[in-house]
């Protein structure tokens, strides 16, 4: 299948995220911004969430990548409308690019549009891309000090997903510490411990998302 590729636009326009929000609202589409380090499991979890949600909602995906179409192809292979946003090396996505890509989707037919942001724990959190909600993924091999080291990524989000629970026995990763640190920077926000590999915790996460989506749609 041929993958449509867009290149990132970097003209600064602070009104654009507001315009994206307006467009999405008009079409009753929710945009979910998925953030986390390279390799945290963004694509793997998105695949699981698509399977869990696709019977109830119509879905679409924008795959941010600095060069390749690998993740966009994964989504297209699942039969989900999918467009790649190629940032040509840039380390985050901006709203201008989302605005340009939206016409690729028949938004009246899409309830939830996922955006897999560029793998990076720093600047994606600084840019409002017009999203309705954000999810931050941290995986166990990355270490349990990341919430305190990269606070913005954990403050400016709606929920934390701690992925790769299946490898917890092999790492000195203090789950309680991470949950506590997260509550410290983002009080009351939910955290989910999951594994995209053995599927543990995926039901709880998808039930939370269904509740959120139903309340927002
Ligand atoms: N053991 C384990 N490996 C995982 C899990 N989730 C993802 N991976 C692996 O981690 C690597 C990176 O995953 P990917 O979804 O591409 O991460 P992304 O770069 O954040 O999109 C791949 O080799 C996945 O198979 C998990 O829950 N447990
Ligand atoms: Mg990926
Ligand atoms: Zn950046």
How many beta carbons lie within 10 A of that of residue 148, not counting itself? 14
d(Cα 37, Cα 62) in Å, to the nearest integer?
17
* pLDDT reported for residue 62: 97
How many angstroms is it from 91 CA to the middle of ligand 3?
4
How many angstroms is it from 197 CA to the middle of ligand 2?
15
Cα→Cα distances 149→83, 124, 154, 182, 200, Å: 32, 15, 10, 11, 27
| Cβ 41 under 6 angstroms from ligand 1 | yes
**Phi-psi group of 184: left, alpha or beta (phi > 0 → left; psi -120 to 50 → alpha; rest → beta):** alpha
Three-class secondary structure assignment of 140-181: HHHCCCHHHHCHHHHHCCCEEEEECHHHHHHCCCCHHHHHHH
Domains of the chain: 5-216 (3.40.50.300)
| Cβ 123 under 6 angstroms from ligand 1 | no
Q: What is the mean pLDDT of residues 8-16?
A: 69
Predicted TM-score (pTM) of this structure: 0.95
Confidence at 96, pLDDT banded by 50, 70, 90:
very high
| Cβ 196 under 6 angstroms from ligand 1 | yes
At 162-216, the pLDDT tens digits run 999 999 999 999 999 999 999 999 999 999 999 999 999 999 999 999 999 999 9
Burial of 66 (0-12, 13-18, 19+ CB in 10 A): middle
d(Cα 116, Cα 119) in Å, to the nearest integer?
8
Which residue from 40, 44, 61, 138 has its CB within 8 A of the most atoms of ligand 1, so it is best to mutate? 44
User: Which residues make Cβ contacts (< 8 Å) with residue 26, sequence separation at least 6?
Assistant: none
For residue 199 the two structure tokens come to 């599927």
Which residue from 35, 41, 70 has its CB within 8 A of the most atoms of ligand 1, so it is best to mutate? 41
d(Cα 31, Cα 102) in Å, to the nearest integer?
11
At 97-148, the pLDDT tens digits run 999 999 999 999 999 999 999 999 999 999 999 999 999 999 999 999 999 9
d(Cα 196, Cα 42) in Å, to the nearest integer?
9
Which residue from 196, 200, 202, 205 has its CB within 8 A of the most atoms of ligand 1, so it is best to mutate? 196
d(Cα 1, Cα 16) in Å, to the nearest integer?
31
């Amino acid at each position: 299948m041929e993958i449509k590729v867009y290149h990132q636009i970097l003209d600064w326009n602070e009104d654009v995220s507001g315009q994206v929000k307006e467009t999405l609202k008009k079409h009753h589409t929710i945009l979910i911004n998925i953030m986390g380090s390279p390799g945290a499991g963004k694509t793997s979890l998105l695949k699981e969430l698509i399977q869990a949600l696709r019977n109830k909602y119509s879905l679409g995906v924008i795959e941010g990548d600095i060069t390749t179409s690998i993740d966009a192809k994964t989504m297209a292979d699942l039969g989900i409308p999918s467009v790649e946003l190629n940032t040509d090396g840039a380390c985050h996505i901006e709203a201008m690019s989302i605005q340009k890509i939206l016409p690729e989707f028949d938004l009246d037919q899409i309830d939830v549009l996922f955006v897999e942001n560029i793998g990076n724990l720093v600047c994606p959190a600084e840019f409002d891309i017009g999203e309705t909600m954000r999810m931050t993924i941290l995986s166990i091999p990355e270490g349990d000090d990341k919430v305190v080291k990269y606070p913005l990524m954990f403050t400016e989000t709606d929920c934390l997903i701690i992925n790769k629970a299946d490898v917890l026995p092999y790492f000195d990763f203090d789950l309680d510490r991470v949950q506590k640190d997260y509550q410290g920077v983002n009080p009351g926000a939910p955290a989910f411990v999951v594994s995209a590999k053995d599927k543990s915790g995926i039901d709880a996460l998808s039930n939370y998302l269904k509740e959120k989506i139903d309340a927002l749609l």
